[in-house]
A = this chain, B = another copy of it.
Amino acid sequence: MDGNSTVRVGVLGYGNVGAAVVALIGENGDTIAARTGLRLEVARVAVRDLSKARTGFSGFTDDAASVVTDPDVDLVVEVIGGIDPAKSLVLAALEAGKPVVTANKELMAAYGAELFDAAAKAGVDLLFEAAVAGAIPLIRPLRESLAGDRITRVLGIVNGTTNFILTRMTESGQTFAEALAEAQSLGYAERDPTADVEGHDAAAKASIIASLAFGVRVVASDVYREGITGVSADDIRMAGRLGYVVKLLAVIDAVNGEVAVRVHPTMVPAAHPLASVREAFNAVFVEGAAAGELMFYGRGAGGRPTASAALGDVIDAAANLRQGTSAGVPGLASARIRPMDEVRSQYYLSLDVADLPGVLEQVAAAFARHLVSIVQVLQVGMGQEARLVLVTHTAYERDMQATVAELRDLDHVDRVGTLLRVIGGEQ
């Protein structure tokens, strides 16, 4: 194999993902060379703490900037995470004419457009499959396989921690706190679980998926976001009785040239493919105008799964580099982000009410005044313990919120429970 087919890789970050990238290049390097004619060589690895560097390899450094500018590095893999210093390192690599593969969702969600511009200017690849849904191949399907189709909606379970917690609450009847503690003990949740349970991680991924699916500029702060801390074991039981499963969904809709992107706990019909995505798995469900329903399922996190996705990108970028081409960056147009008030969903709502004649009439009148029509009502319990559970037809969020506000003021409504959107079986 001649020198030209060797591509020297600089890896920024040596945590779970970085170490797995290095290990996989070692394990599969010969097969990759045989299949593609490309010999990948790990030239330099930037590590935060040099004392953690593996012995027997002289390429470790704690000076990440030197890796990016090293003339012996042809291609850069960024798996540090976070904005700073990842952003300046990626920009420096692109400016030096080096393709970059990144697994950094925060960075792509906040600065994707700027980074794409830099990649386009340099004429090199910026690939980020590992930043979207871990090991799940999503970018090639969305950008290439569906290039002749029109995507109308994307629904995603894109955070494994919250899916694990909701699975435990559903299948074992655990409380949120119990399920979170188990997720933490298994390493699925951080000690501070905010980024996962409040939906920040999912919102970052939703913004990247929205950009890819609809070719428009969406950043994380455009995403309406609710976490799962308000979901009770009781809501999940009631959802089950009504034929639904509760999932934290990223919901991305194209509506008349506008894009609506939101992350919130959602009731999904039990027969919907997303309902059977269990434990820490992720899945992205795509509706194409011609293709119909598609779903992509797999591990959304973890060192080796994420490294597998990154390595697919490395091989692509390396092949393009050797051919003097690049994959091209997604052209991102501007589109209005539809505010949550104008988004339409079905809703689930539970109300603790006094078990008296006329209460249902009062409640129904409140819905009717805001043009929200009810598709299903269930009374659970009697007397002091009476509860009404309602599912609505599709309605505007602002009308539903106005209904909830009015319900709170009704005399015989003691408590307005969690408001959940119902998605995937629209009526």
Q: Which residues 254-284 of A have a CB within 8 angstroms of B?
A: 271, 273, 275-278, 281, 283
- Chain B neighbourhood of A146, CB < 8 A: 137, 308, 312
How many residues on the A side are at the interface (Cβ–Cβ under 8 A)?
A: 56
Partner of A292, one of B31, B275, B298: B298
B299 touches A298 (CB 8 A): no
B28 touches A308 (CB 8 A): no
A293 within 8 A of B: yes
Nearest chain B CB to A293 CB, angstrom units = 6
A304 touches B325 (CB 8 A): no
- Chain B neighbourhood of A238, CB < 8 A: none
Q: Tell me the nearest residue of chain B to A310, going by C-beta.
A: B148
| Contact A149 to B297, CB < 8 A, known contacts A35-B215, A290-B308 | no
A129 within 8 A of B: yes
Nearest chain B CB to A277 CB, angstrom units = 8
A28 touches B312 (CB 8 A): no
Q: Tell me the nearest residue of chain B to A23, going by C-beta.
A: B290
- Chain B neighbourhood of A271, CB < 8 A: 278
| Contact A291 to B276, CB < 8 A, known contacts A129-B145, A140-B141 | no
A295 touches B292 (CB 8 A): no
A82 within 8 A of B: no
How many copies of this chain sit in the oligomeric assembly? Answer: 2
A148 touches B311 (CB 8 A): yes
Q: Which residues 1-56 of A have a CB within 8 angstroms of B?
A: 20, 24-25, 27-28, 31-32, 35-36
Nearest chain B CB to A323 CB, angstrom units = 7
CA distance A328 to B222 in the complex (A): 40
A240 within 8 A of B: no
Nearest chain B CB to A184 CB, angstrom units = 21
Partner of A150, one of B31, B136, B147, B275: B31
- Nearest first, the 8 closest Cβ-Cβ pairs linking A and B are A148-B311, A137-B145, A137-B141, A295-B297, A276-B276, A291-B308, A290-B308, A135-B291
A–B complex contacts, Cβ < 8 Å, 19 sampled: A24-B148, A35-B147, A135-B288, A135-B292, A137-B140, A137-B144, A140-B140, A144-B316, A145-B309, A147-B312, A147-B316, A148-B312, A149-B308, A149-B312, A271-B278, A291-B298, A291-B309, A293-B299, A325-B325
